[in-house]
């Protein structure tokens, strides 16, 4: 039996304790993830076992917004709507970053650096908006 003495043994023991605490916190997260997956699996399994299965022609028919389907199942969609949605997402993300920026900007000692970082971020967004404008994406036809 070897007994560790001195600072090396104490550091090794402290390192083992820190590693144990580190992995213990991850084990809690892992346990919660397993419980969540089991909860969803049990709910889906119970739904499958308890639901009535009575297929009828009405139930097997394609359903869309309460209107009986008429015509082909293929419809053309204008791509410009996706572009507008994408531009909206870009500026929604911009607004999400503005609120924490305003909080940090108000803190003492962060004013100038935070202001420069925010203008760089807004510059990237402005370049993206300018690119969309030059490509004619923002013109409504």
Q: How far apart are CA 87 and CA 81, in angstroms?
A: 10
59 compared with 130, residue with greater pLDDT = 130
* Closest by Cα among 117, 122, 116, 114 to 94: 122
136 compared with 39, residue with greater pLDDT = 39
pLDDT beyond 60 at 27: yes
- Tens digit of pLDDT for each residue in 36-89? 999 999 999 999 999 988 888 877 777 666 666 666 667 676 776 777 787 788
pLDDT value for 12:
58
> What is this structure's pTM?
0.37
110 compared with 56, residue with greater pLDDT = 56
Residue with tokens 């892992």: 30
């Amino acid at each position: 039996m070897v007994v560790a003495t001195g600072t090396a043994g104490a550091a090794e023991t402290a390192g083992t304790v820190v590693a144990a605490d580190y992995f213990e916190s991850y084990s809690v997260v892992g346990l919660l993830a397993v419980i969540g997956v089991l909860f969803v699996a049990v709910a889906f399994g119970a739904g499958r076992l308890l639901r009535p299965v009575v297929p009828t022609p009405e139930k097997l028919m394609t359903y869309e917004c309460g209107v009986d389907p008429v015509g082909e199942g293929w419809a053309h969609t204008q791509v410009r709507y996706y572009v507008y949605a994408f531009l909206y997402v870009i500026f929604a993300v911009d607004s999400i970053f503005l609120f924490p920026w305003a909080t940090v900007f108000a803190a003492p000692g962060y004013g100038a650096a935070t202001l420069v970082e925010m203008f760089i971020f807004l510059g990237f967004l402005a370049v993206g908006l300018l690119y969309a404008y030059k490509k004619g994406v923002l013109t409504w036809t």
